[in-house]
Amino acid sequence: MASLETKITDLIAPALTDMGYELVRVQIGGGQHRPTLQIMAEPTGGRTMNVEDCSLVSQQVSALLDVHDTVPGAYVLEVSSPGIDRPLTRVKDFQNWAGHEAQLETHDRIQNRARFRGVFEFHADHITLTQDGQTYDIPFTAIRKAKLVLTDELIKAAELLNPPPPEDSDGVSEEDSQPQDIQTGAA
């Protein structure tokens, strides 16, 4: 029987793809009485996820979950971007971020350990991670969870992928100078 997270993934991933987003992770946490459903997504094409993106994804996911009554009872829906120290959940994440430091846990022990932290290299069916001068070949199927470690090198790489908006001659970014719609509860 498929897990609830898998059912939710199967339900929302196609809709998010149609909207121009990729689903990074679905995770359910919190207590039994009011669990938290965490949806992590990012725009296709490498653009940084912003608040408007999170709102659009939240509206779509909420509507799908309500129509299909996928999550029993009350729950809290959180939508976010992967962030700089992102989880590595897909093979393409390992490919895109090879050469950076990651920490990961495996389902079973590999060379007498199940937790690793080090710089990794990408291969078609595994990563090679170096920790304390020791090299470990870790198949993707053996990885339980993984995430990038926040380092100066990672911050620099993220800045190269998503440079800040250009500033005009007054020192104001084009993004900051755009009019913003602000909605309030006042009539």
Residues 126 and 149 in one domain: yes
pTM score, two decimals? 0.77
Residue 150, pLDDT > 80, answer yes
Percent of the chain scoring above 90 in pLDDT: 71
Residue 186 in any domain: the answer is no
| Band (160; pLDDT cuts 50, 70, 90) | confident
Confidence (pLDDT) at 187: 36
Which CATH number fits the domain that encloses residue 149? 2.30.30.180
Contact 42, 81 (CB under 8 A): yes
Confidence (pLDDT) at 96: 92
Residue 153 in any domain: the answer is yes
Question: What is the number of structural domains in the chain?
Answer: 2
Residue 186, pLDDT > 80, answer no
Nearest CA-CA partner of 85 in 52, 115, 40: 40
Q: Which amino acid is at 146?
A: A
Domain boundary among 48, 80, 112: 80
Residue 24 in any domain: the answer is yes
Residue 171 in any domain: the answer is no
Q: What is the CA radius of gyration of the chain?
A: 19
Q: Please name the helix (run of DSSP H) or strand (run of DSSP E) that holds residue 29, with its range, or none.
A: strand 21-29
Domain boundary among 80, 102, 118: 80
Residues 40 and 10 in one domain: yes
Domain boundary among 52, 80, 108: 80
**DSSP-derived pairing of the beta strands 101-110 and 113-122:** antiparallel
Residues 102 and 76 in one domain: no
- Determine the structural domain holding residue 28 and report its residue range: 4-80
| Band (165; pLDDT cuts 50, 70, 90) | low
Confidence (pLDDT) at 59: 96
**DSSP-derived pairing of the beta strands 36-43 and 76-80:** parallel
Residues 47 and 110 in one domain: no
Per-residue pLDDT of 90-123, as tens digits, reads 999 999 999 999 999 999 999 999 999 999 999 9
The pair of three-digit structure tokens given for residue 34, joined into one six-digit string: 């009011």
Residues 122 and 151 in one domain: yes
